[in-house]
Amino acid sequence: MTGTAIISLDCEGRWGVADHLTPEVASGLTDARLRQAYRDIIALLGRAEISATFAFVELFTRPASPETTRLVREYAEELPYLARAASGLAAGEEGWVGDWALDMAGRGQHEIAFHGATHVPWTDLSREQARREMELARPEHRQTMVFPRNEIAHLDVLAEFGCKAFRGARKYPSRAQSLLSEFDLAVPSQALPDRDVSRPAEIPSGVFINWMSGLRRLVPPAVTRRRARNLLADAARSGGVAHFWLHPENVATAPATLANLQAITEEIVRFRDAGTIRVETQLSALAD
């Protein structure tokens, strides 16, 4: 059997942490650090000849403009999550504008996908607000979705706008359990659901690529590699999906995270060269 490997990246600058942007977090998400992280990740994927899914926060991909600043200030009146984004954009702060990141990712053989327009979790949005998010995105950039904070909601809105699939979510009851799961070496792969064009498909969520920050630094890279290898072996055996995901922002704030991505791409390439794993994006995985 042939399994499937997918790498997806949640691309968001400061939008992903807009509701808890401490000065310490902000210092890891400067323009220079973000550019370096995206450059390194794209170069690494290019060397491995891996096409990935780059799921962008739409407003992060827009150049700075008075219109965008005004729009976010307006939204912030009903969605407090966006208050810090509104003031940051108005002040011309770094980390909110990543049009260059979309340019970089768009030059490769990568899928550009949707990570919300504003990164407000969709469970906090009304149906109309969710529709507004979809309307802000370019149609070719919303064919598949990664939900902000992995909070899945409004699947009917996705369907209405022709979005074909979304990344599922593995939920842990606490941060400690999420951290401990990094040592679970027997994560099973999951099958892609059968095609049903009337609703978006749930792409198996797979595993987070360990972020070398805080207590997560205690997870040995060899464990992360072994876990990925076992997941790929299971996918190859069962014809399932081994999905790995990360934020480029995890590399910006903790550059040692790049070595984990490197190790996982090496494992993927090993299986691909052996003919037991096919590399896909979220979108291409759906094709027959």
CA distances from 22 to 25, 56, 81 (A): 5, 22, 14
Min dist CB 25 to Zn ion, Å, is 13
Q: Tell me the H-state helices in the chain.
A: 23-28, 31-47, 66-78, 83-90, 99-106, 127-136, 155-160, 175-180, 221-238, 248-253, 257-273
| Binding of residue 95 to Zn ion (CB under 5 A) | no
Rounded Cα distance between 211 and 240, Å, is 25
* Tokens found for residue 7: 């790498």
* Tokens found for residue 261: 């991505």
Rounded Cα distance between 74 and 246, Å, is 30
1 to 20: interface string for Zn ion, x by CB under 5 A: ---------x-x---x----
Rounded Cα distance between 60 and 215, Å, is 29
User: Which residue's CB atom is positioned nearest to Zn ion?
Assistant: 16
Q: Which stretch binds Zn ion (CB under 5 A): 66-74, 98-106, 125-133, 148-156?
A: 148-156
Q: Among residues 10 and 111, whose Cβ is nearest to Zn ion?
A: 10
Min dist CB 32 to Zn ion, Å, is 21
Min dist CB 13 to Zn ion, Å, is 10
Min dist CB 163 to Zn ion, Å, is 17
Min dist CB 249 to Zn ion, Å, is 8
Q: How many residues bind Zn ion (CB under 5 A)?
A: 4
Q: Note the residues at the interface with Zn ion (CB under 5 A).
A: 10, 12, 16, 148
